[in-house]
Each structure stands twice: as structure tokens, then as C-alpha cells.
Structure 1
Amino acid sequence: MRKDSAYSLLTFCSTVINRFLWALYSEQVGDMKHTVQTLLVGLIAVMQPIAASALEIRTAAQDSQPKFIKDGETITGLCVDVFKAIERVDPELKFSELRDFMPLPRIEAWLEEGKLDAFCGLAKTDKRKAKLDFIETPIYATQSVLAARIDDKVDIKGFDDLAKLGDDGVVLVVNGTVHVDILAAHPSIKFDAGAKDTSTNLNKLIAGRGRFVFQNDFALADEIKRDHFVGKIKILPTQFELEGTERYFVVSKKATPGINDKLRAAVEKLSKSGELARIFLAYKPK
């Protein structure tokens, strides 16, 4: 509760209670009834702005469909559905309005600086755990896969096969994502992390500026359809068994007090009820 609203409430109640006691002492029944009515109306009037001042969670949208989907001025998607579900189970929480995409490196920097309170859908890494607080209940899980041009006959079973290709096997990844860290752990693999989103990498793949796109199946399948590359780009069957397939809510260490605990409780409740699974099912690659 804000200090100014709390002070207004106390001042108002003190005034009305004094009037109520005076009416009672004076046996002015009509005045007493009017005073009670005034008290009720006044309490509602004072409490409305207090209720409206719900705990706002400053967040952002990443250019990563279907986690966030931008259509004109509107942003929807899996994480937006999760935001709405959290607001339903805890009406005291309110996520900030999303108007445009923000690059992931900036999102992480703003979380660290305290300019944002929370973000939806990050993989857990040691580097991120040192800077951000993770809500331990995962939002959803994905598998890391490769995409290639439809006519590429290549057979990739794992990272060793990618390394053997050398310059003939350049892998395209999105800057700032966990997939950059994964490939960086394999120095022999050639990769390009210059793109800010998966759509850019798919277009680079079609143009021959890379041989593979390394991304989670969730984002790849959606983006291939969204960019009308079905029949031009395929997802290879190998799923890379890696830690960190789950995606989580992260909270800034400088977030408003109370956000972490309330988010943790809400996400856990949604997970136990099966709501998170139902939300993910609507966006899961078919």
C-alpha cells in the first residue's frame, strides 16, 4: 500500500469515526445512519486507488515467437498468456504493458540494473544465475535442434559432426541466447552470432550465409511457418541432449520487494494446477 493512500485512509477514518461517536453520544439516529453510509462510501473511494496500485512488474518482450508475437501494435504469445494467468491467480500483481520488442542482451542488462523487474522464458546458465534470481518452477521445456535447407543431405548426430565440417558447417545462432554459450564451449565449431532474432537467421540460411540454424524446436518450428519457409527449410531429427532445456521466470535482484515471492507462489500454483502445461500445449510445435 502506498504511504499517501494509507495516510488518506487513516485521516478519513479518524474523521468519520469521530462524527460517528458524536452522533451516537447525541442520540442523533439520522445522523448516525448518514455517518455509517458516508463511512462505507468513503472507504470504497479511498480503497479503489489503493487496489488500482497493484504491484507492477516491469517486463519486456523479446523478438522470439511464439514466446512473444507482435501483430501491429499488439504483443501476444505464450509468455503473455502466462502473465494473464499469473494476474488471475494473484490480482495484486500487474505486468507492465508491452509495446515493442527489446534485444535480449538489453533485457538482461536492464534486469541486472533494476530497470526491469522480471522476464519470462530464459534458460538457466551459471552466468545468468550470478546476476539474476530464477523462479525454480519451469514455465516450459524445449529441445535444441538444427535447421538446414530442404535439399541439404547432411547427417548430423552431434557436435563432433558439426566440428568436422569446419568452414563448410557455419552455424547461425541468435546473439545473447544460451545457444551462443553452448557452441562457444566447442571451439572447433564455426558459428555466427550476429543476428538478433531467428527470422534473420532463417533468411541468412536461405541466402547461403550459413549452413545451419541452431535454436530450440519451439521457436524454430513456429518461425519457419511464420516466415513461409515450409518446403524450403527443414528441422533435422537430432535433438541435442543438453542441460538447461527448461525455460524459467527470472527476477532482478533489484526488483521491488515482494515481487519475487509472489511470482514464485503464482507460478508454482499454475504449474500444480496444470495451467502452465495447457498454455504451452497451445503453442507446442505440432
Structure 2
Amino acid sequence: MRWLRWFLLCLGSLAWAQDPPLRVGVGNFPPYSYLVEGEPAGIEIDILRELESIDPGLRFTGLNQVLLVKRVVTEVDAGRIDLALSARTPERLARYQMLEPPIHTARLRLLGRRDEALQIDNLEQLAELGNEAVVLVAPGSSPHAYLLRQAGLSLDAAPIDSQQMLQKLLLGRGRFVFGFEPALAAAANRLGVSDQLRWQPLQAGMLEMSLLASRQLAPARWAKLNAAWKKLAASPKLKLILARYSTATIVESP
């Protein structure tokens, strides 16, 4: 029986030494993170599960608790979560740790109704239209911050996510929607309204998407996460994950 006591003691020591799960802030942000019948899904979720497979010492919690997108990063600041998906802006790169390399690059695009007569090529054209061209954008998001740099735009930042923005657009309570192309395409697909929409020529730029963490996260834990991520990023599995959520059903402007 002595060997059994020794085995149980070693097992208990290993369990005690194991790091607690990393707390993840998940937003309602298809195709990156969302719930399907109460179960988490999306690019971010699949990446986290692959990281757990690569390094069994990595565990994540909070995947079923969807937050408002604008609250996710503020929860990192408050110390209530450890990780969140974010665009890699200069401000966030200076403030947080972000995994290298980025997950992928997403275009910022302008979306209108299929029967929209206007063709918008640049933000200056939108600004000239003023209140005749209200642009719906998610509050506190990177696309919102981007638009705030352009004077004269008429913005509605009341909707909380991409699906709400598209619903308002189709009800005539805004003329355009601005956001990340993958997020808007996924929202249209989930609502079944892709055939009622059309991309505008304006393409405002590209932003890289990545996982961020507070600089208060222990260096050893960040190093473990970063090492697993580099293995995944270098493998074919990341491309397979991204392809799984790819949607291209909204028509382009002629």
C-alpha cells in the first residue's frame, strides 16, 4: 500500500501545481465567437481548443459566457479576464501583450442595401453627404475608432453587434454599415439576408486580428501560450479553421 500512497501523493502534487484556466472574454462576434444552441463556436473558439490539444497544460474557461463586444477588452483592464480577441491597433499594441503572428488580416468595408443608388469610394464622399448617409457602426469597436478620425461623418453607434446593424439597415434606419468584412458577411449569412446587401467600393484599410492579454499575466503563462500559438500558426490547421468560417455571398458593386 506504500506505493499507492506515494502515487496518490504525486498525483495530488501535480494537480496542485497545475496553472488555473486562463479566463477568456468571448463576444457575440461571428465568425470569431458566438453561441450555437448554447455551445460556443467560431474561429477564436476553435483556435483555443487547438491550443489545448497542442499543450495539455493550457486550459481556457468562460467560452460559454458571451459578453458585449465593447465590454470584452474593458474586462481585461479590470482583471476579470485574461485573454480577448482584438484588432491590432497601435494603441492596443502599446497597452497589451498580443500573440505573434496575427490570426489573419480583415478588411474594413462599407455595406449598403442591394438597391442603394450611391457608389461610395471614400470617406470624404460620405462626409459630404452628412445626415443623408448615416453609417451604423458597433460602439467602442476598432471600426468605430477608425471612423471617428474622419470629420463630418454621421454615425449611429447604438447597435451592439453586426446582426443588429444589418437589421437596422434593412429597416431603413441607417444608410450604410461599416465594419470588418468577415463579421458583416457572417452576420448576413446567419440572418439569411446576404441577397439583400451589396458591398460598396470603399475599402478603408486592413487590420490584423489577434489574441491579447493584460501585461499583468505572468510571463511564464504568456510564454506557454505564445509557444503553443506559434506551433498552431505554422501548421495547416489554422488555414483549415479560417476556411471553415469563410463566407462570400454578398455581391460587389459593379
Structure 2 match to 1:225: 189
User: Could you tell me how far 1:170 is from its partner in structure 2?
Assistant: 1.1
The TM-score with structure 1 as length reference comes to 0.80
Q: Distance in 1 between matches of 2:130 and 2:154?
A: 6
Instruction: Verify: 1:137 aligned to 2:101, yes or no.
Output: yes
- Higher strand fraction (1 or 2): 2
Instruction: Verify: 1:263 aligned to 2:228, yes or no.
Output: no
Q: Distance in 2 between matches of 1:201 and 1:97?
A: 26
Structure 1 match to 2:252: none
Gaps of 5+ in 1: 1-33
User: Could you tell me how far 1:167 is from its partner in structure 2?
Assistant: 1.1
User: What amino acid does structure 2 have at the position aligned with 1:252?
Assistant: S
Instruction: Verify: 1:181 aligned to 2:153, yes or no.
Output: no
User: What amino acid does structure 2 have at the position aligned with 1:285?
Assistant: T
Where does 1:130-169 land on structure 2 (aligned, <5 Å)? Answer: 130-169=94-133
Q: Distance in 2 between matches of 1:195 and 1:230?
A: 19
User: Could you tell me how far 1:64 is from its partner in structure 2?
Assistant: 0.8
User: What amino acid does structure 2 have at the position aligned with 1:270?
Assistant: L
User: What amino acid does structure 2 have at the position aligned with 1:115?
Assistant: R
Where does 1:1-286 land on structure 2 (aligned, <5 Å)? Answer: 35=2, 37-38=3-4, 41-43=7-9, 45-47=11-13, 49-50=15-16, 53-120=18-85, 122-242=86-206, 245-286=207-248
**Could you tell me whether the CA contact under 8 Å between 1:139 and 1:248 is conserved in 2?**
yes
User: What amino acid does structure 2 have at the position aligned with 1:111?
Assistant: V
**Could you tell me whether the CA contact under 8 Å between 1:114 and 1:253 is conserved in 2?**
no
Q: State the SS of the aligned residue for 2:47.
A: helix
The TM-score with structure 2 as length reference comes to 0.89
**Could you tell me whether the CA contact under 8 Å between 2:121 and 2:202 is conserved in 1?**
yes
Which string of whole-angstrom CA distances, capped at 9 and with x for unpartnered residues, describes residues 165-220 of structure 1? 21111111001110111100001221111111011111111111111000111011
Q: Distance in 2 between matches of 1:96 and 1:183?
A: 34
Structure 1 match to 2:251: none
Report how many aligned residue pairs link the two structures.
Answer: 248
User: Could you tell me how far 1:239 is from its partner in structure 2?
Assistant: 2.5
Which string of whole-angstrom CA distances, capped at 9 and with x for unpartnered residues, describes residues 92-129 of structure 1? 11010322321133221121121111112x11223323
User: What amino acid does structure 2 have at the position aligned with 1:152?
Assistant: E
Kindly, what percent of the aligned residue pairs are identical? Answer: 27
Q: Distance in 2 between matches of 1:90 and 1:218?
A: 29
User: What amino acid does structure 1 have at the position aligned with 2:235?
Assistant: S
User: Could you tell me how far 1:131 is from its partner in structure 2?
Assistant: 3.0
> Which stretch of the first structure deviates more once superposed, 129-138 or 266-275?
129-138
User: What amino acid does structure 2 have at the position aligned with 1:191?
Assistant: L
User: Could you tell me how far 1:43 is from its partner in structure 2?
Assistant: 5.0
Which string of whole-angstrom CA distances, capped at 9 and with x for unpartnered residues, describes residues 133-163 of structure 1? 2223101211111111111021111212212
Which string of whole-angstrom CA distances, capped at 9 and with x for unpartnered residues, describes residues 60-108 of structure 1? 2111111112123211111100000111111111010322321133221
**Could you tell me whether the CA contact under 8 Å between 1:113 and 1:254 is conserved in 2?**
no
Q: Distance in 2 between matches of 1:55 and 1:262?
A: 13
Q: Distance in 1 between matches of 2:71 and 2:201?
A: 33
Q: Distance in 2 between matches of 1:278 and 1:231?
A: 26
> What is the root-mean-square deviation of aligned Cα atoms in Å?
2.0
User: Could you tell me how far 1:237 is from its partner in structure 2?
Assistant: 4.1
CA radius of gyration, larger in: 1
User: What amino acid does structure 2 have at the position aligned with 1:251?
Assistant: A
- Higher helix fraction (1 or 2): 1
Q: State the SS of the aligned residue for 2:40.
A: strand
